[in-house]
């Protein structure tokens, strides 16, 4: 299944997973130090939904925000 919404085009995007060690300054330490940065992917919540499109029933891959927003008419 493609990780992209058929309606709004929302897809996966990348970011960083940052690992920090040490005690924060406000807790009496010398501060947090970054010890590792790893690339990661943020994936949208895609659901397979049977919906009406131009009077016909089709199976679409739709994100949950489009389903909640009423952009999809379920069959």
Contact by Cβ (8 Å): 40, 18: no
Residue range 15-74, pLDDT digits in tens: 999 999 999 999 999 999 999 999 999 999 999 999 999 999 999 999 999 999 999 999
What's residue 1's pLDDT? 57
Residue 70 region by backbone torsions, left for phi larger than 0, else alpha for psi between -120 and 50, else beta: left
Confidence at residue 2, expressed as pLDDT on a 0 to 100 scale: 67
Cα 75 from Cα 70, distance rounded (Å): 13
DSSP 44: -
CA atoms of 48 and 41, how far apart (whole Å): 21
Evaluate if pTM is beyond 0.75. Answer: no
Q: Fill in the DSSP letter of residue 72.
A: -
Q: Find where tokens 């997973």 sit.
A: 17
């Amino acid at each position: 299944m493609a990780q992209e919404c058929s309606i709004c085009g929302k897809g996966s995007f990348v970011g960083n997973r940052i690992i920090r060690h040490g005690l924060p300054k406000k807790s009496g330490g010398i501060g947090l130090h970054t010890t590792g940065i790893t690339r990661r992917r943020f994936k949208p919540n895609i659901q397979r939904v049977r919906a009406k499109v131009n009077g016909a029933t089709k199976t679409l891959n739709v994100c949950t925000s489009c389903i909640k927003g009423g952009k999809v008419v379920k069959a």
